[in-house]
Amino acid sequence: MNEIILEISPEKAAKLIDKISRFIVEKRMAAPAIMTIESLRPLHNIGSQLMHFLAPFAEVFVNSREYQEFAALLEQDKYITLLVKRIDELDNEFYSQERSEKKVLRRRRNNKIKRFFGIKPKKDNKNTKK
């Protein structure tokens, strides 16, 4: 019989947080994941207990040890905060270049449309204070 994991060490928590964060970011689901995690933050203890309750059924489909470690991770608010931060960091790291390129293309397209209709494009003054 497998032992039940009720607590997780900080080292294992860091590894698990990184693994989960990478999975979420690689699937390009960072924004929905952060929004969901933040909106359900007050219920993290209930979610963790529910995961422990459903463990015998869920372990048929997923790795038993990682499932229990994730349930233990959800019990502590500091790990939830670290998870959100890590997802955001990885998302910025992986896709910042792509986003800046798309922003430039979007600005060019908008300026082209404005020139077509005779509207003067705005000057991009990044040093101007609002």
Instruction: Tell me the per-residue pLDDT of 56-96, one tens digit each, with 9 for 90 and over.
Output: 899 899 988 889 999 999 999 999 999 999 999 999 998 88
Per-residue pLDDT, 1? 45
pTM above 0.75, yes or no: no
117 confidence band (pLDDT: 50, 70, 90): confident
Instruction: List, in sequence order, the alpha helices (H) in the chain.
Output: 10-26, 30-39, 44-58, 64-74, 77-117
- Going from N- to C-terminal start, the domains of the chain cover 10-117
Mean pLDDT of the chain: 88
124 confidence band (pLDDT: 50, 70, 90): low
Give the residue among 12, 30, 25 at the shortest CA–CA distance from 76: 12
d(Cα 60, Cα 87) in Å, to the nearest integer? 28
The mean pLDDT of 39-43, rounded to a whole number, is 90
Grouping H, G, I as helix, E, B as strand and the rest as coil, residue 52 is helix
